[in-house]
Amino acid sequence: MIDLVLIGLTRFLVGGQALWIGASPETRQRIYFANHASHLDTLLIWSALPRGLRAVTHPIAAADYWGKGRVRRHIALEVLNAVLIDRSTQGPPGAALAPLRGVLAEGESLVLFPEGTRGSERLPGPFKSGLYWLSQEFPEVELIPTYLDNPSRAFPKGTFLPVPISCTVRFGPPVARQTGEDKDDFLERARTAVAALASDPVG
Protein backbone atom coordinates (compact mmCIF):
# COMPACT_ATOMS: atom_id res chain seq x y z
CA MET A 1 0.00 0.00 0.00
CA ILE A 2 2.71 2.49 1.02
CA ASP A 3 4.75 1.38 -1.99
CA LEU A 4 1.90 2.29 -4.35
CA VAL A 5 1.52 5.70 -2.69
CA LEU A 6 5.27 6.32 -3.00
CA ILE A 7 5.33 5.27 -6.65
CA GLY A 8 2.28 7.43 -7.34
CA LEU A 9 3.86 10.46 -5.68
CA THR A 10 7.12 9.93 -7.54
CA ARG A 11 5.30 9.68 -10.88
CA PHE A 12 3.20 12.76 -10.11
CA LEU A 13 6.12 14.94 -9.06
CA VAL A 14 9.07 13.84 -11.15
CA GLY A 15 7.82 11.16 -13.53
CA GLY A 16 10.76 8.81 -13.40
CA GLN A 17 10.21 7.04 -16.70
CA ALA A 18 12.48 3.99 -17.11
CA LEU A 19 14.43 3.67 -20.36
CA TRP A 20 16.11 0.31 -20.87
CA ILE A 21 18.78 1.23 -23.40
CA GLY A 22 21.25 -1.62 -23.29
CA ALA A 23 19.75 -3.99 -20.75
CA SER A 24 16.28 -5.42 -20.29
CA PRO A 25 14.34 -5.72 -17.03
CA GLU A 26 15.12 -9.38 -16.23
CA THR A 27 15.48 -11.15 -12.92
CA ARG A 28 19.23 -11.65 -13.12
CA GLN A 29 21.48 -10.86 -10.22
CA ARG A 30 22.76 -7.36 -10.79
CA ILE A 31 24.48 -4.35 -9.35
CA TYR A 32 22.86 -1.20 -10.69
CA PHE A 33 25.30 1.65 -10.17
CA ALA A 34 24.19 5.22 -10.75
CA ASN A 35 25.19 8.87 -10.53
CA HIS A 36 24.04 10.48 -7.30
CA ALA A 37 22.50 13.95 -7.22
CA SER A 38 19.59 13.98 -4.80
CA HIS A 39 17.65 12.20 -2.08
CA LEU A 40 15.16 11.29 -4.81
CA ASP A 41 17.65 8.96 -6.49
CA THR A 42 16.91 5.87 -4.41
CA LEU A 43 13.15 6.35 -4.91
CA LEU A 44 13.57 6.99 -8.63
CA ILE A 45 15.47 3.79 -9.37
CA TRP A 46 13.29 1.74 -7.05
CA SER A 47 10.08 2.95 -8.71
CA ALA A 48 11.56 2.53 -12.20
CA LEU A 49 12.06 -1.20 -11.65
CA PRO A 50 9.18 -3.57 -12.41
CA ARG A 51 7.48 -5.01 -9.33
CA GLY A 52 9.17 -8.41 -9.54
CA LEU A 53 12.63 -6.88 -9.64
CA ARG A 54 11.83 -4.41 -6.87
CA ALA A 55 11.30 -7.25 -4.42
CA VAL A 56 14.81 -8.67 -4.92
CA THR A 57 16.73 -5.42 -5.37
CA HIS A 58 18.21 -3.55 -2.42
CA PRO A 59 19.22 0.10 -2.69
CA ILE A 60 22.15 1.14 -0.56
CA ALA A 61 21.11 4.16 1.46
CA ALA A 62 23.08 6.40 3.77
CA ALA A 63 22.16 5.73 7.39
CA ASP A 64 22.67 9.39 8.26
CA TYR A 65 19.75 10.35 6.00
CA TRP A 66 17.45 7.34 5.53
CA GLY A 67 18.02 6.03 9.05
CA LYS A 68 16.84 9.24 10.67
CA GLY A 69 13.34 9.46 12.09
CA ARG A 70 10.89 6.58 12.42
CA VAL A 71 8.94 7.24 9.21
CA ARG A 72 11.95 7.59 6.96
CA ARG A 73 13.61 4.57 8.55
CA HIS A 74 10.48 2.48 8.13
CA ILE A 75 10.16 3.48 4.46
CA ALA A 76 13.83 2.74 3.81
CA LEU A 77 13.88 -0.66 5.48
CA GLU A 78 10.36 -2.02 4.99
CA VAL A 79 9.24 -0.46 1.72
CA LEU A 80 12.39 0.19 -0.31
CA ASN A 81 14.21 -2.92 1.02
CA ALA A 82 17.18 -0.66 1.53
CA VAL A 83 20.46 -1.59 3.18
CA LEU A 84 21.55 1.24 5.42
CA ILE A 85 25.24 1.89 5.61
CA ASP A 86 27.12 4.16 7.93
CA ARG A 87 29.34 6.42 5.86
CA SER A 88 31.46 7.45 8.84
CA THR A 89 32.67 3.92 9.64
CA GLN A 90 36.35 3.88 10.50
CA GLY A 91 38.17 0.60 10.07
CA PRO A 92 39.97 -1.60 7.58
CA PRO A 93 39.26 -0.76 3.90
CA GLY A 94 36.13 -2.45 2.67
CA ALA A 95 34.67 -3.03 6.15
CA ALA A 96 31.64 -0.92 5.30
CA LEU A 97 30.88 -3.34 2.44
CA ALA A 98 29.95 -6.20 4.76
CA PRO A 99 26.15 -5.73 4.56
CA LEU A 100 26.42 -5.43 0.74
CA ARG A 101 28.30 -8.71 0.52
CA GLY A 102 25.54 -10.26 2.57
CA VAL A 103 22.89 -9.23 0.01
CA LEU A 104 24.94 -10.46 -2.95
CA ALA A 105 25.76 -13.74 -1.18
CA GLU A 106 22.02 -14.37 -0.90
CA GLY A 107 21.66 -13.99 -4.65
CA GLU A 108 19.82 -10.68 -4.62
CA SER A 109 20.61 -7.41 -6.45
CA LEU A 110 21.97 -4.05 -5.32
CA VAL A 111 21.59 -0.40 -6.25
CA LEU A 112 24.80 1.54 -5.58
CA PHE A 113 25.84 5.17 -5.84
CA PRO A 114 29.63 4.75 -6.17
CA GLU A 115 30.34 8.47 -5.87
CA GLY A 116 29.45 8.03 -2.22
CA THR A 117 27.89 11.46 -1.92
CA ARG A 118 25.54 13.70 -3.84
CA GLY A 119 27.08 15.83 -6.58
CA SER A 120 25.58 18.83 -8.33
CA GLU A 121 26.97 18.25 -11.82
CA ARG A 122 25.27 16.55 -14.74
CA LEU A 123 28.04 13.94 -15.00
CA PRO A 124 29.19 11.73 -12.13
CA GLY A 125 32.40 12.48 -10.23
CA PRO A 126 35.12 9.93 -9.35
CA PHE A 127 33.89 6.55 -8.09
CA LYS A 128 34.87 5.04 -4.76
CA SER A 129 36.38 1.59 -4.78
CA GLY A 130 33.46 -0.43 -3.33
CA LEU A 131 32.08 -1.25 -6.77
CA TYR A 132 35.46 -2.67 -7.79
CA TRP A 133 35.79 -4.95 -4.76
CA LEU A 134 32.25 -6.25 -5.12
CA SER A 135 32.69 -6.85 -8.85
CA GLN A 136 35.82 -8.92 -8.11
CA GLU A 137 34.28 -10.93 -5.29
CA PHE A 138 31.08 -11.67 -7.19
CA PRO A 139 32.17 -12.19 -10.80
CA GLU A 140 28.78 -13.60 -11.89
CA VAL A 141 26.83 -10.47 -10.99
CA GLU A 142 25.92 -8.25 -13.95
CA LEU A 143 27.06 -4.61 -13.63
CA ILE A 144 24.42 -2.24 -15.02
CA PRO A 145 25.37 1.42 -15.45
CA THR A 146 22.39 3.63 -14.63
CA TYR A 147 21.99 7.31 -15.35
CA LEU A 148 19.53 9.54 -13.54
CA ASP A 149 18.60 12.55 -15.60
CA ASN A 150 17.45 15.74 -13.85
CA PRO A 151 17.17 14.90 -10.12
CA SER A 152 19.89 17.48 -9.46
CA ARG A 153 17.46 20.05 -10.87
CA ALA A 154 14.35 18.68 -9.18
CA PHE A 155 15.87 18.35 -5.71
CA PRO A 156 19.29 20.04 -5.52
CA LYS A 157 21.60 19.52 -2.60
CA GLY A 158 20.81 21.82 0.31
CA THR A 159 17.09 22.28 -0.45
CA PHE A 160 14.13 20.97 1.52
CA LEU A 161 11.44 20.38 -1.07
CA PRO A 162 11.60 18.73 -4.50
CA VAL A 163 10.03 20.65 -7.38
CA PRO A 164 8.18 18.93 -10.22
CA ILE A 165 10.71 18.39 -13.00
CA SER A 166 10.57 15.22 -15.10
CA CYS A 167 13.39 12.80 -14.44
CA THR A 168 14.32 9.71 -16.43
CA VAL A 169 16.14 6.58 -15.35
CA ARG A 170 18.33 5.09 -18.08
CA PHE A 171 19.70 1.56 -17.76
CA GLY A 172 22.68 0.94 -20.03
CA PRO A 173 24.44 -2.16 -21.37
CA PRO A 174 26.31 -4.23 -18.73
CA VAL A 175 29.93 -3.31 -18.05
CA ALA A 176 32.16 -6.35 -18.65
CA ARG A 177 35.11 -7.22 -16.40
CA GLN A 178 38.51 -7.30 -18.04
CA THR A 179 41.14 -9.65 -16.67
CA GLY A 180 44.12 -7.90 -15.18
CA GLU A 181 42.48 -4.48 -15.24
CA ASP A 182 43.62 -2.32 -12.40
CA LYS A 183 41.21 -0.79 -9.89
CA ASP A 184 41.37 2.81 -11.04
CA ASP A 185 41.02 1.89 -14.71
CA PHE A 186 37.96 -0.21 -13.93
CA LEU A 187 36.37 2.55 -11.86
CA GLU A 188 37.00 5.13 -14.56
CA ARG A 189 35.55 2.80 -17.19
CA ALA A 190 32.46 2.27 -15.03
CA ARG A 191 32.09 6.02 -14.52
CA THR A 192 32.36 6.64 -18.26
CA ALA A 193 29.66 4.02 -18.87
CA VAL A 194 27.26 6.00 -16.65
CA ALA A 195 28.28 9.34 -18.19
CA ALA A 196 27.75 7.93 -21.71
CA LEU A 197 24.05 7.50 -20.91
CA ALA A 198 23.73 11.23 -20.15
CA SER A 199 24.01 12.32 -23.77
CA ASP A 200 20.65 10.99 -24.84
CA PRO A 201 18.82 12.82 -27.63
CA VAL A 202 15.64 12.89 -25.50
CA GLY A 203 17.06 15.11 -22.84
Partner 1 sequence: MSMAMSLSDKLFILFGGVCGLLVIASLIGFALSRRATSESGRATIDNLNARIKAWWVMIAIFAASFALGRGVTLVLFALTSFYTLREFVSLTPTRAADHLPLVAAFYLLLPLQYWLIAIDWYALFTILIPVYGFLLLPSLAALKGDAGEFLLRVSRIQWGLMLTVYCISHAPALLTLDIPGRPREGFLLLFFLITVAQFSDVMQYVFGKLIGRTKVAPAISPSKTVEGLIGGGLSAVAAGAGLWWITPFTPIEAAAMALAIVAMGFLGGLALSAVKRSMGVKDWGTMISGHGGVLDRMDSLSFAAPVFFHLTRYFFT
SS3 letters for the chain? CHHHHHHHHHHHHHEEEEEECCCCCCCCCEEEEECCCCCCHHHHHHHHCCHHHHHCEEEEEEHHHHCCCHHHHHHHHHHCCCEEECCCCCCCCCHHHHHHHHHHHCCCEEEECCCCCCCCCCCCCCCCCHHHHHHHHCCCCEEEEEEEECHHHHCCCCCCCCCCCCEEEEECCCCCCCCCCCHHHHHHHHHHHHHHCCCCCCC
Smallest gap from Cβ 20 to partner 1, in A, equals 15
Residue 150: φ, ψ to 5°: 90, -15
- The site map against partner 1 for 69-108 (x = CB under 8 A) is ----------------------------------------
Total residues in contact with partner 1, by rule CB under 8 A: 15
Does residue 157 interact with partner 1 by CB under 8 A?
A: yes
Antiparallel, parallel or unpaired: β 167-171 and 142-149: antiparallel
Does residue 120 interact with partner 1 by CB under 8 A?
A: yes
Please select the residue that binds partner 1; options are 72, 73, 153, 189, rule is CB under 8 A: 153
What is the C-alpha R_g of the chain?
Answer: 16
Does residue 129 interact with partner 1 by CB under 8 A?
A: no
Smallest gap from Cβ 122 to partner 1, in A, equals 11
Does residue 123 interact with partner 1 by CB under 8 A?
A: no
Part in contact with partner 1 (CB under 8 A); list of ranges 69-77, 124-132, 154-162, 181-189: 154-162
Interacting residues with partner 1 between 28 and 57 (CB under 8 A):
none
- The site map against partner 1 for 5-24 (x = CB under 8 A) is ----------x-x-------
Please select the residue that binds partner 1; options are 21, 165, 195, 198, rule is CB under 8 A: 165
Residues that bind partner 1 (CB under 8 A): 15, 17, 120, 150, 152-153, 156-159, 161, 163-166
